[in-house]
Structure 1
Protein backbone atom coordinates (compact mmCIF):
# COMPACT_ATOMS: atom_id res chain seq x y z
CA UNK A 1 0.00 0.00 0.00
CA UNK A 2 1.36 3.42 -0.93
CA UNK A 3 2.64 5.44 2.01
CA UNK A 4 3.46 9.12 2.23
CA UNK A 5 5.90 11.39 4.00
CA UNK A 6 4.01 14.62 4.60
CA UNK A 7 5.65 17.80 5.88
CA UNK A 8 4.35 21.18 6.94
CA UNK A 9 7.32 23.52 6.69
CA UNK A 10 7.42 26.81 8.56
CA UNK A 11 9.63 29.91 8.37
CA UNK A 12 10.99 28.94 4.98
CA UNK A 13 13.90 31.14 3.97
CA UNK A 14 16.31 30.44 1.17
CA UNK A 15 19.73 29.52 2.53
CA UNK A 16 22.75 27.94 0.85
CA UNK A 17 22.20 24.77 2.93
CA UNK A 18 18.60 24.53 1.69
CA UNK A 19 19.70 24.87 -1.90
CA UNK A 20 22.11 21.96 -1.37
CA UNK A 21 19.34 19.96 0.33
CA UNK A 22 16.95 20.48 -2.59
CA UNK A 23 19.65 19.68 -5.14
CA UNK A 24 20.47 16.38 -3.43
CA UNK A 25 17.19 15.08 -1.99
CA UNK A 26 15.99 13.25 -5.12
CA UNK A 27 19.14 11.11 -5.16
CA UNK A 28 18.32 10.05 -1.58
CA UNK A 29 14.75 9.15 -2.63
CA UNK A 30 15.57 7.19 -5.78
CA UNK A 31 16.69 3.91 -4.11
CA UNK A 32 13.36 3.83 -2.23
CA UNK A 33 11.16 4.80 -5.20
CA UNK A 34 10.18 8.05 -3.51
CA UNK A 35 8.63 10.73 -5.67
CA UNK A 36 7.37 14.19 -4.95
CA UNK A 37 3.64 14.77 -5.30
CA UNK A 38 3.80 18.25 -3.75
CA UNK A 39 7.00 20.19 -3.10
CA UNK A 40 6.73 23.40 -1.14
CA UNK A 41 3.39 24.48 -2.47
CA UNK A 42 1.57 27.18 -0.54
CA UNK A 43 -1.84 25.74 0.31
CA UNK A 44 -5.11 27.51 -0.24
CA UNK A 45 -6.79 27.31 3.15
CA UNK A 46 -10.53 26.69 2.87
CA UNK A 47 -11.12 25.54 6.47
CA UNK A 48 -9.18 26.26 9.63
CA UNK A 49 -5.65 27.63 9.57
CA UNK A 50 -2.44 26.45 8.02
CA UNK A 51 0.95 28.05 8.33
CA UNK A 52 3.79 27.10 6.05
CA UNK A 53 4.31 25.12 2.91
CA UNK A 54 3.43 21.54 2.09
CA UNK A 55 5.59 18.66 0.91
CA UNK A 56 4.15 15.24 0.07
CA UNK A 57 6.41 12.40 -1.07
CA UNK A 58 4.93 9.05 -2.15
CA UNK A 59 6.63 5.69 -1.56
CA UNK A 60 5.56 2.15 -2.49
CA UNK A 61 4.95 1.28 1.19
CA UNK A 62 5.61 2.36 4.77
CA UNK A 63 8.80 0.27 4.99
CA UNK A 64 10.25 2.24 2.08
CA UNK A 65 9.50 5.56 3.80
CA UNK A 66 11.20 4.41 7.00
CA UNK A 67 14.19 3.00 5.11
CA UNK A 68 14.63 6.28 3.19
CA UNK A 69 14.29 8.46 6.30
CA UNK A 70 16.84 6.35 8.21
CA UNK A 71 19.21 6.00 5.26
CA UNK A 72 22.73 7.45 5.57
CA UNK A 73 22.12 9.52 2.43
CA UNK A 74 19.07 11.27 3.89
CA UNK A 75 20.45 11.54 7.42
CA UNK A 76 23.41 13.42 5.94
CA UNK A 77 21.01 15.88 4.25
CA UNK A 78 18.50 16.27 7.07
CA UNK A 79 20.47 18.83 9.14
CA UNK A 80 20.68 21.09 6.08
CA UNK A 81 16.90 21.47 6.33
CA UNK A 82 16.28 21.25 10.06
CA UNK A 83 18.88 23.90 10.86
CA UNK A 84 16.90 26.44 8.85
CA UNK A 85 13.26 25.33 8.67
CA UNK A 86 10.91 24.33 11.46
CA UNK A 87 8.03 22.03 10.74
CA UNK A 88 6.17 18.83 11.27
CA UNK A 89 6.74 15.59 9.37
CA UNK A 90 4.45 12.57 9.48
CA UNK A 91 4.33 9.21 7.75
CA UNK A 92 0.90 7.99 6.76
CA UNK A 93 -0.46 5.06 4.79
CA UNK A 94 -2.63 5.68 1.78
CA UNK A 95 -5.78 3.72 1.04
CA UNK A 96 -6.26 0.75 -1.25
CA UNK A 97 -7.56 1.35 -4.76
CA UNK A 98 -10.87 -0.22 -3.75
CA UNK A 99 -11.28 1.92 -0.60
CA UNK A 100 -14.86 2.90 0.20
CA UNK A 101 -15.30 5.55 2.91
CA UNK A 102 -18.67 4.05 3.81
CA UNK A 103 -16.77 1.11 5.31
CA UNK A 104 -15.24 3.53 7.82
CA UNK A 105 -18.69 4.79 8.74
CA UNK A 106 -19.76 1.20 9.34
CA UNK A 107 -16.75 0.67 11.62
CA UNK A 108 -17.61 3.88 13.52
CA UNK A 109 -21.19 2.66 13.99
CA UNK A 110 -19.98 -0.71 15.29
CA UNK A 111 -17.53 0.95 17.69
CA UNK A 112 -20.25 3.31 18.93
CA UNK A 113 -22.69 0.43 19.45
CA UNK A 114 -20.09 -1.55 21.41
CA UNK A 115 -19.16 1.48 23.54
CA UNK A 116 -22.84 2.06 24.38
CA UNK A 117 -23.46 -1.58 25.25
Structure 2
Protein backbone atom coordinates (compact mmCIF):
# COMPACT_ATOMS: atom_id res chain seq x y z
CA UNK A 1 0.00 0.00 0.00
CA UNK A 2 1.33 3.43 -0.92
CA UNK A 3 2.21 5.87 1.82
CA UNK A 4 2.71 9.61 1.93
CA UNK A 5 5.16 11.71 3.85
CA UNK A 6 3.49 15.03 4.67
CA UNK A 7 5.62 17.90 5.92
CA UNK A 8 4.16 21.24 7.02
CA UNK A 9 6.60 23.90 8.12
CA UNK A 10 7.53 27.55 8.30
CA UNK A 11 10.91 28.68 7.04
CA UNK A 12 12.65 30.75 9.68
CA UNK A 13 15.92 31.33 7.80
CA UNK A 14 15.44 31.54 4.01
CA UNK A 15 19.16 31.71 3.26
CA UNK A 16 20.01 28.66 5.37
CA UNK A 17 17.10 26.70 3.90
CA UNK A 18 17.76 27.67 0.26
CA UNK A 19 19.95 24.64 -0.65
CA UNK A 20 17.47 22.10 0.78
CA UNK A 21 15.01 21.58 -2.13
CA UNK A 22 17.73 20.82 -4.69
CA UNK A 23 19.68 18.67 -2.22
CA UNK A 24 16.71 16.54 -1.13
CA UNK A 25 15.39 15.66 -4.60
CA UNK A 26 18.11 13.11 -5.52
CA UNK A 27 17.74 11.33 -2.16
CA UNK A 28 14.17 10.31 -3.07
CA UNK A 29 15.11 8.32 -6.19
CA UNK A 30 16.44 5.11 -4.54
CA UNK A 31 13.26 4.88 -2.42
CA UNK A 32 10.84 5.49 -5.32
CA UNK A 33 9.74 8.74 -3.68
CA UNK A 34 7.58 10.91 -5.91
CA UNK A 35 7.12 14.58 -5.06
CA UNK A 36 3.36 15.18 -5.28
CA UNK A 37 3.00 18.60 -3.63
CA UNK A 38 5.43 21.39 -2.83
CA UNK A 39 3.47 24.53 -2.01
CA UNK A 40 5.35 27.40 -0.42
CA UNK A 41 2.21 29.51 -0.04
CA UNK A 42 -0.31 27.05 1.42
CA UNK A 43 -3.81 28.53 1.54
CA UNK A 44 -5.32 28.52 5.00
CA UNK A 45 -8.99 27.52 5.09
CA UNK A 46 -9.12 26.28 8.69
CA UNK A 47 -6.84 26.39 11.73
CA UNK A 48 -3.28 27.64 11.77
CA UNK A 49 -1.29 25.49 9.34
CA UNK A 50 2.27 26.19 8.32
CA UNK A 51 3.18 28.15 5.18
CA UNK A 52 4.94 25.28 3.38
CA UNK A 53 3.26 21.95 2.61
CA UNK A 54 5.15 19.09 0.97
CA UNK A 55 3.74 15.66 0.13
CA UNK A 56 5.92 12.81 -1.13
CA UNK A 57 4.43 9.49 -2.26
CA UNK A 58 6.31 6.26 -1.48
CA UNK A 59 5.45 2.63 -2.30
CA UNK A 60 4.97 1.91 1.43
CA UNK A 61 5.53 3.22 4.95
CA UNK A 62 8.68 1.08 5.08
CA UNK A 63 10.03 2.85 1.99
CA UNK A 64 9.18 6.26 3.48
CA UNK A 65 10.88 5.36 6.77
CA UNK A 66 13.86 3.95 4.89
CA UNK A 67 14.27 7.20 2.98
CA UNK A 68 13.87 9.36 6.09
CA UNK A 69 16.48 7.35 8.00
CA UNK A 70 18.85 6.93 5.05
CA UNK A 71 22.40 8.28 5.37
CA UNK A 72 21.83 10.38 2.23
CA UNK A 73 18.80 12.15 3.65
CA UNK A 74 20.30 12.50 7.11
CA UNK A 75 23.07 14.60 5.51
CA UNK A 76 20.45 16.92 3.96
CA UNK A 77 17.95 17.00 6.82
CA UNK A 78 19.75 19.65 8.90
CA UNK A 79 19.17 22.15 6.09
CA UNK A 80 15.47 21.96 6.91
CA UNK A 81 15.47 21.19 10.63
CA UNK A 82 17.93 23.94 11.54
CA UNK A 83 16.12 26.60 9.50
CA UNK A 84 12.45 25.64 9.79
CA UNK A 85 9.82 24.73 12.36
CA UNK A 86 7.02 22.30 11.70
CA UNK A 87 5.73 18.77 11.65
CA UNK A 88 6.27 15.70 9.46
CA UNK A 89 4.09 12.58 9.37
CA UNK A 90 3.93 9.38 7.34
CA UNK A 91 0.43 8.16 6.47
CA UNK A 92 -1.00 5.25 4.52
CA UNK A 93 -2.92 5.81 1.33
CA UNK A 94 -6.69 5.49 1.75
CA UNK A 95 -8.04 2.10 0.79
CA UNK A 96 -11.83 1.82 0.97
CA UNK A 97 -11.77 -1.98 0.49
Normalised-by-shorter TM-score class: 0.7 to 0.9
Please tell me whether residue 48 in structure 1 is matched to residue 37 in structure 2.
Answer: no
TM-score calculated relative to the size of structure 2: 0.88
Q: Higher relative CO (CA 8 A, sep ≥ 6), structure 1 or 2?
A: 2
* Deviating 4+ runs (over 4 angstroms): none
Aligned length: 97
**Which structure has more helix as a fraction of its residues?**
1
Give the equivalent residue in structure 2 for 1:106: none
- Specify every segment of 5 or more residues in structure 2 that has no aligned partner in the other structure, as ranges: none
Give the equivalent residue in structure 1 for 2:81: 82
Give the equivalent residue in structure 2 for 1:109: none
Give the equivalent residue in structure 2 for 1:3: 3
Q: In the TM superposition, what is the alpha-carbon distance from 1:12 to its structure 2 partner?
A: 4.5
- Specify every segment of 5 or more residues in structure 1 that has no aligned partner in the other structure, as ranges: 101-117
Tell me, yes or no, if the aligned pair for 1:4 and 1:93 is still in contact at 8 Å: yes
Q: In the TM superposition, what is the alpha-carbon distance from 1:22 to its structure 2 partner?
A: 1.3
TM-score calculated relative to the size of structure 1: 0.74
Q: Secondary structure at the match of 2:54?
A: strand
CA distance in 1, matches of 2:54, 2:21: 12
Give the equivalent residue in structure 1 for 2:92: 93
Structure 1 residues 86, 49: closer, same or farther in 2, change over 3 A?
closer
RMSD between superposed Cα atoms in Å: 1.6
Please tell me whether residue 24 in structure 1 is matched to residue 23 in structure 2.
Answer: yes
Larger radius of gyration: 1
